[in-house]
Structure 1
């Protein structure tokens, strides 16, 4: 019995969708007008009164006029979706449509319905009262998006009840849309995971900072002063000896420091913990970028990538359980983000790690568990944990 009801419900739903996409649907006023027209026609048939035929025909003519004009309105309009700029999770997504009337007559009472795929947003209804011939109007609206991801959708409906609102015509337009929602980025002031990554990396970082903070730099050679050279580069002792201005050429120190942030998405994750791990990966990556470090991101699906937009798009699309079981992680010291404590044994020497554990996990029995990494649990603030000093 239940199967028959479900089957009938699906049939009627499909029939209703087919009808709406091809034929106008009467509004409440349309149903009333059709009822009056049929009543007049029935009365005229019984009484053979001509004026009843006139009233019935006039009512049906109004209904037919509304059907034709509404159908032509939704068919002749052209609509274009403008490019969607990426945002971060928690922000509002700006959506823009350009609606054009290419015909020689005005189009009135237009409604556009955009069924958004976001969980926190419902379908957006936008209205245009009138659109003159050859006129283009831009429709702008916003959608709140709370979760990262790459969203695709194509359906968009144009509806009209012109000219008197008795019948609604609807036409589905397939306009491809793609919205990229980046993960949130925490503006870290410090990061012990990065600052203590490998002895060689730390020494190189300190030497590079000393170099950039030095007022004299490392002198490679002396040459004659040329117009435009900074006065601070003038070597006054040599200038006095040679009788002309001498300028120091500073040696350029190229830092070979490379930091790889690895997100272990080859495991099964609790969804909320995985979202926190993605935020941590993005925050650590941009912390390194602000420190002018050579930073890369590694995941089981993308392998090693770099570049702000490339990394953000990869983190927007990333999901758990992507990649092969037998993965080779980079051999140099890295920052490892995972929910599996057993993966720590295979990390290169000098690596740092951060574990994202559920409430039921307990690592208190592990030895030296806090010596080279951090542990995140849902009861703690991710921002505070990422800036927590390591017990080295």
Structure 2
């Protein structure tokens, strides 16, 4: 019963007006005086009830009028990584001459983002614009769409509440977290078996002939130690790292997230984090790497990859073209799919129990242990 009354009150507030507590009290007293006047035929009781009912009528008309002609505009929302805060900016403009008093704003964000934020505006003078900027934590990866901002007021008498929604589309992209990997044997060794250019590089990385080293640059955090040119570093007094032509022209690798499989929800979040972290590590060491999912196929580019992983979900229908014979790092919870990998590929498996007899060259993830440390560990 209470739920139905609440729904009816909400319907009244959105369609017309809903009496506040003071409004119900005033309405009850008006009816009481009207009934007493009918029984006693007292003119002063009729005057009191009539004045109270007129006041209620005016109080019911003014709140909807107060919300008219207010215009709202939303600024684009910059993407963030999970665990960071979204910065949302809304502008409320009052084109009329009269000020708008005592307004409540509710930004109707998706439930997955949390409780809708609200702002109280005491006064918005005529012809002016109010800018509302708020920070909202984004704990979960995803692409979020919403299109409503709710305006609510009981001004000027506080007897009736009125609520109206405005279409103000919003889109927020929350990227998966990118772990700062200092090394990753899975990526460092991918494609060595079937890539003669890469194997030649491994044999000549110490002497560094002219045909392999494209340029030297200052050391950046996360660069592998084997890429440091020690003689040049000693000459300049700072670490210098080789940029190698072989990575850009020789090795074409794929990081594939098995989104067609049925994952545990927490494991899939780890899989998205691992895919993003491995992609950025591979580009950092100048591998020609791309991301593959069952829905989007092969994609490339930091922003495109992050947006793809932000919108990825498990159980997708496999509509993309197959990967082919490229060296692949396969991320999956399904051990049966590992049998189809090429000899130059690697795998990462999320499973509560690892089946015996798995091929070498992969890594079984324990969800209870630190993911970053496991990605930097040696192959199984």
* TM-score above 0.5: yes
Give the aligned partner of residue 170 of structure 1: 163
CA drift at 1:323: 2.9
CA–CA distance in 2 between the matches of 1:214 and 1:186?
A: 26
Give the aligned partner of residue 376 of structure 2: 387
TM-score by length of 1: 0.80
Match of 1:184 among 177, 201, 207: 177
Conserved in 2, the CA contact under 8 Å of 1:190 and 1:387? Answer: yes
CA drift at 1:326: 9.8
Match of 2:97 among 90, 97, 104: 104
In terms of Rg, which structure is larger? 1
CA–CA distance in 1 between the matches of 2:75 and 2:90?
A: 6
SS of equivalent residue, structure 2 residue 68: helix
Match of 2:366 among 377, 384, 388: 377
TM-score by length of 2: 0.82
Q: 1:10-21 maps to which residues of 2 (within 5 A)?
A: 15-21=8-14
SS of equivalent residue, structure 1 residue 141: strand
SS of equivalent residue, structure 1 residue 280: helix
Give the aligned partner of residue 88 of structure 1: 81
Q: 1:1-392 maps to which residues of 2 (within 5 A)?
A: 15-119=8-112, 121-199=114-192, 200=195, 202-203=198-199, 210=208, 211-212=213-214, 253=245, 255-256=248-249, 257-324=251-318, 328-358=322-352, 361-363=353-355, 365-366=356-357, 369=359, 371-390=360-379
CA–CA distance in 2 between the matches of 1:25 and 1:153?
A: 26
Residues 112 and 326 (structure 1), Cα distance of their counterparts in 2 relative to 1, 3 Å cut: closer
Residues 32 and 269 (structure 1), Cα distance of their counterparts in 2 relative to 1, 3 Å cut: same
Deviation readout 1:157-184 (Å, 9 max, x if unpaired)? 2111101211111112232222111111
The count of corresponding residues between Structure 1 and Structure 2 is: 344
Residues 31 and 326 (structure 1), Cα distance of their counterparts in 2 relative to 1, 3 Å cut: closer
CA–CA distance in 1 between the matches of 2:375 and 2:214?
A: 26
Deviation readout 1:170-229 (Å, 9 max, x if unpaired)? 1122322221111111011111111111223644765689415669xxxxxxxxxxxxxx
Conserved in 1, the CA contact under 8 Å of 2:10 and 2:18? Answer: no
Unmatched tracts of structure 2, length 5 or more: 218-231, 233-243
